[in-house]
Amino acid sequence: MDAVLELRNVSKHYSSHRVVDGVSMEAPRGAFCSLLGPSGCGKTTTLRIIAGFEEPTSGEVLLNGNSLLGLKPYHRNVSTVFQNYALFPHLTVRQNIEFGLRYQPERCRNGSNRQSAREVIEMMQLGGKETRKPAELSGGEKQRVALARSLVLQPDVLLLDEPLSALDPRLRKQLRAELKSLQRSAGITFLFITHDQEEALSLSDRISVMHAGRIEQTGTPEEIYLKPATRFVASFVGHVNWIDGIGIRPEATRMGRKTPATGVRTVPATAVNCVFLGNCVQVEARLLSGASVVVELPFGHERPTPGETTHIWWRPEDELRFRE
């Protein structure tokens, strides 16, 4: 695998607190990579170490095989899209986009800065907005300017720090699709930081799930969801029913009076609530122990009656198996 970016055992300690604790990861060239984790898990610090805003306490950061350590942010061929976009409020859209080219003229694709900027403005559909100031732009436009400002420099890796979290949910879904197609067409390696598992699953070629300063698992979205390596990954990415210490996804869990005779494990449970979701019926049930379980029944399956005690069951092969 051709890794454009590689982290080897990177740690960052603040006095006694280990914010990043031995993180190793690789970003394949041209891939959409995500660093997924809850807030405070160290993912933003990891990004800041790659961008050069923080120096790691130990470990190695390689870009195209060369160490980045000791290099100032302005000497690293990576670029960041900040969470709040950090557009320069006193500069116009065009000046924002041309900002980096002015200091890194060697990154200019075709002769003039103006021409490179024009191409990116076109690509990001910002035509007609060139002379606006950031304050006059909508949230989605601001995001596109932030992306354009970085993309015009053709960085080896584009670092995105929760770029969708500042937007309203409807716009977020639309821009998510745009982001993915942009990454494909630009062919630039993305390292996308997010706490939103849905975002990570839908966008990424490769996800690293981070928890308490460590990477718990790296894999494709399918691997992360279907074969979570740890309990944390399983419960952070999607919902998990914990039954006697065994984890089962809601869609692998069934419920009803007629349990199959063989090949399944069954547990008695009481249906509490049934909700029709269109593609499935979601049942909230309670075990005898009082634990709550979510069951997603496919269309056409027998529908439990709330208050009635029946059984839930699942196939042993659908049980999640963990490393620990």
Q: Which is nearer to other proteins, 139 or 238 (CB)?
A: 139
Give me the least distance between CB of 68 and other proteins, in Å please.
Answer: 13
Smaller CB separation from other proteins, 30 or 73: 73
DSSP string, 72-130: -GGGSSEEEE-TT----TTS-HHHHHHHHHHH-GGG-SSS-HHHHHHHHHHHTT-TT-T
Positive or negative: CA dihedral 195, 201, 207, 209: positive
Nearer to other proteins, 48 or 211 (CB): 48
* Nearer CB in complex with other proteins: 82/322: 82
2 neighbors 28 (Cβ within 8 angstroms): yes
Tell how strand 66-67 and strand 17-28 pair up.
Answer: unpaired
Token pair 């990954």: residue: 233
Half-sphere exposure for 86 (CA within 13 Å, toward CB): 12
We find the least distance from the C-beta atom of residue 242 to other proteins, in angstroms, to be 40
> CB of 48: closest distance to other proteins in angstroms?
9
Tell me how far, at minimum, the Cβ of 90 lies from other proteins, in Å. Answer: 5
The CB-of-230 to other proteins minimum distance in angstroms stands at: 33
Beta carbons of 146 and 114 less than 8 angstroms apart? no
Task: Tell me if 174 sits within 8 A of 182, measured CB to CB.
Answer: no
Least spacing, CB of residue 149 vs other proteins, in Å: 7
State in angstroms the smallest separation of the CB of 51 from other proteins: 6
Tell me whether residue 77 or residue 220 sits nearer to other proteins (CB atom).
Answer: 77
Q: Closer to other proteins by CB, 108 or 267: give it.
A: 108
> Considering beta carbons, is residue 133 or 303 the nearer one to other proteins?
133
Q: What are phi and psi of 240, to 5 degrees?
A: -130, 135
Diameter over CA atoms, the chain: 74
Would you tell me which residues interact with other proteins (CB under 8 A)? 51-53, 72-74, 79-80, 82, 84, 86-90, 99-100, 103-104, 107, 149-150, 153
Tell me the two tokens of residue 103. 């200091």
CB-facing half-sphere around the CA of 39: CA atoms within 13 A? 2
